[in-house]
Amino acid sequence: MKLLIVGLDGLEPELVERWNLALFKQRSYGRHYVGILRTLSTPLLWGTFLIGRNVEELGYDVKTMMIRKNLGLFPLPLKPLYWLRVKLLPRRLGLRRVLRKMGLVKEYSACIMPRRLIDMTFLEKLKSMGYSVHAIEVPGYNETINEKYRNMVPRYISSPFIVKLKTLMDILEELKDRVKEGLEAVERGFDIVFVYLPMPDVAHHFFSKGDAKSMRGLRRVYTRLEQLIEPLIRRAYGENYVVLIVSDHGFDFQTHDHSEYGFWSLNIDDFEFHTITDFCPKILELFERKESI
C-alpha cells in the first residue's frame, strides 16, 4: 500500500460543501474536531496530527514553539544573547528587528518540534518499519519556508482587494514547485508522500470579513487550489495510492480566526476521522493491514 497526504492549511469544510468542490470530496469525507488544543496554531495542530496526541500535553505549547522558532533565527554565536533576553527580560525589546537590519539574523525561521516528538510521528515510525517517506514542508516536522507565508498576513491585511488577490495568486504560483515535487515522488514510488501547502489559510486571513466581495476572492482561491493539486491527485490514483486530503482547521468568520474543525477526505472506505488525534493511529493501521495480508 502507498499513501499520498495533501495537507491544505485551513481548508474550510463548509466552503468545500457549499461550492461543491468535487476533487476535494473523495469517496468518503467529513470534518474532524481540533479544539482539544488550547491554541489553534498551525504548527501545533500539524504536530498533533503527526503524533496522534495533543502536543501541548507533551510539553510543546505555543510559548515553547515561539522560543524554538526565534532561536532558529540566530547564528550559533548569537544564540546565547537570545537566551539571555528570554530569561531576564520577558517583554520584547525589538532586538531581532535591529539585528535583522544589520544582516545578523535570518528573516524567516521554521517551527520544528523537538527531536523526541519528531520520533513519535507516524512518518518516523513508518520509516523505522522500512517504508520510504517523502515529506514536503510539513509544519512541525521539516518545514523551512512556511513562515514567509504566515508573515504575509499582517503585511497585507489592510491592502486593497486586488492587491490581496494578486498576492494570493502569486503564492499559488510559487506552490507549483511543491506539487511538482510531490508528483515526482509519486512517480518514483515512495510509500508515503506528504505535500503541505499553506493555502487557503492565508486567503482566509486576507478575506476574514466574510462579506460578498471576500467570498468571491476566496472562491477564486479555492478553485485555483483545486486546479493546482489535480494533476498530483490524478497521478496518485493512477499509481494506486490511497489519497488523504486534510486540513488542520477551518475558518470562523464570526471570530475572524481558526475554527475548531478541519476537513478530511479519502478515496477508500472503512475509515473515518472524528478528531485530529485519529489520523496517526489510523494511518499506522492502514500500513499494518497491508503487512498482515
Query: How does pLDDT run along the chain (293 residues), one tens digit per residue?
Result: 899 999 999 999 999 999 999 999 999 999 999 999 999 999 999 999 999 999 999 999 998 888 777 766 655 555 565 555 555 555 555 555 655 665 555 567 889 999 999 999 999 999 999 999 999 999 999 999 999 999 999 999 999 999 999 999 999 999 999 999 999 999 999 999 999 999 999 999 999 999 999 999 999 999 999 999 999 999 999 999 999 999 999 999 999 999 999 999 999 998 899 999 999 999 999 998 765 44
Determine, yes or no, domain membership for 68. no
Residues 173 and 89 in one domain: no
Q: What is the pLDDT of residue 99?
A: 57
Phi then psi for residue 90, to 5 deg, are: -65, -25
Determine, yes or no, domain membership for 33. yes
CA atoms within 13 A of residue 66's CA, in its CB half-sphere: 8
Determine, yes or no, domain membership for 69. no
Contact 197, 175 (CB under 8 A): yes
Q: What is the pLDDT of residue 292?
A: 47
Determine, yes or no, domain membership for 264. yes
Determine, yes or no, domain membership for 258. yes
- The total of structural domains in the chain comes to 2
Residues 89 and 18 in one domain: no
Q: What is the pLDDT of residue 66?
A: 81
d(CA 134, CA 171): 22
Residues 29 and 43 in one domain: yes
What the block records as the C-alpha cell of 237 is 490514483
Residues 245 and 286 in one domain: yes
Residues 78 and 142 in one domain: no
Residues 81 and 208 in one domain: no
* pTM for this prediction: 0.90
Determine, yes or no, domain membership for 66. no
Q: Residue 14: helix, strand or coil by DSSP?
A: helix
Using alpha carbons, list the distances in angstroms from residue 102 to 68, 71, 98, 152, 283: 22, 17, 6, 22, 46
Is the sign of the CA dihedral 49, 203, 26, 15 positive or negative? Answer: positive
Which structural domain, as residue segments, surrounds residue 215? 2-60+109-292
Which CATH number goes with the domain that contains 135?
3.40.720.10
Alpha helices in the chain (DSSP H): 13-18, 42-51, 62-71, 79-88, 95-101, 115-118, 122-128, 146-150, 152-156, 161-174, 176-188, 201-206, 212-238, 279-292
Residues 102 and 218 in one domain: no
Residues 99 and 214 in one domain: no
Residues 142 and 203 in one domain: yes
Determine, yes or no, domain membership for 272. yes
Residues 137 and 192 in one domain: yes
Residues 161 and 231 in one domain: yes
Residues 288 and 189 in one domain: yes
Whole-angstrom Cα Rg for the chain: 19
Which of residues 82, 107, 132 is at a domain's end?
Answer: 107
Determine, yes or no, domain membership for 263. yes
Alpha helices in 78-121 (DSSP H): 79-88, 95-101, 115-118
